């Protein structure tokens, strides 16, 4: 399950900085990362964007638990637009690669860095445009490949866009 931090007040984010380390590794051919059966990343940080989209009664009953959780993050009477993930990848050549996630039109992803040889990562990523954000979503994912690893996040900084 992800770790989700709901912001007390929305924030217009212009850049993010994350510092941490990975102990262990993904068991996957790095060139296949993101493909079906290889859609694992040691770390993802997501910015949840508010919007008008909501789930109706039937959709709530049929949606995956993570989708219901995502929509529960929206303030009462509103919805979400989506979640923008910034991933720590396994292959340096993938840095900058963006995609609409194949399992959900709500998710976009960008690979922003890879861990160094010692497992440490420290990145600053400036967004193409400031993003209204209501929550931060952190996740580590090794289920497709049966990978086992530990991620320690030491620092997260959200930089607000000027008013």
Computed over its alpha carbons, how large is the radius of gyration of the chain? 16
**How many folded domains does the chain comprise?**
1
**Closest Cα partner for 138 from 156, 112, 113, 115?**
156
Q: Calculate the CA 5 to chain-centre distance.
A: 12
Mind listing the pLDDT tens digit for each residue in 38-83?
899 999 999 999 999 888 889 888 888 878 887 887 777 788 999 9
In this prediction, residue 163 carries a pLDDT of: 79
Mind listing the pLDDT tens digit for each residue in 104-147?
888 999 999 999 999 999 999 999 999 999 999 999 999 999 99
- Both tokens of 16, joined, read 């993010």
Strand partners, 23: 150
Does the predicted TM-score (pTM) go above 0.85? yes
Which pairs count as long-range contacts for 157-163, CB under 8 Å and 24+ apart, including other chains? 157/16, 157/17, 157/18, 158/11, 158/13, 158/15, 158/16, 158/133, 159/13, 159/14, 159/15, 159/16, 159/17, 160/11, 160/12, 160/13, 160/14, 161/12, 161/13, 161/14, 161/130, 162/14
Residue 105 is part of which domain span? 3-160
In this prediction, residue 149 carries a pLDDT of: 95
In this prediction, residue 125 carries a pLDDT of: 97
């Amino acid at each position: 399950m992800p770790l989700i931090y709901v912001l007390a007040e929305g924030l217009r984010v212009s850049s993010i900085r994350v510092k941490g380390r990975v102990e262990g590794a993904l068991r996957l051919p790095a060139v296949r990362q993101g493909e079906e059966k290889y859609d694992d990343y040691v770390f993802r940080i997501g910015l949840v964007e508010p919007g008008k989209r909501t789930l109706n009664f039937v959709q709530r009953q049929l949606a995956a638990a993570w989708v219901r959780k995502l929509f529960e993050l929206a303030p009462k009477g509103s919805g979400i637009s989506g979640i923008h993930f910034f991933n720590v990848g396994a292959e340096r050549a993938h840095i900058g690669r963006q995609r609409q996630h194949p399992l959900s039109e709500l998710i976009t992803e960008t690979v922003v860095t890879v861990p160094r040889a010692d497992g440490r990562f420290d990145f600053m990523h400036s967004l193409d445009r400031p993003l209204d954000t209501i929550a931060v979503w952190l996740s580590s994912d090794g289920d497709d490949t049966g990978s086992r690893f530990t991620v320690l996040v030491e620092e997260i900084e959200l930089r607000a866009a000027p008013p």
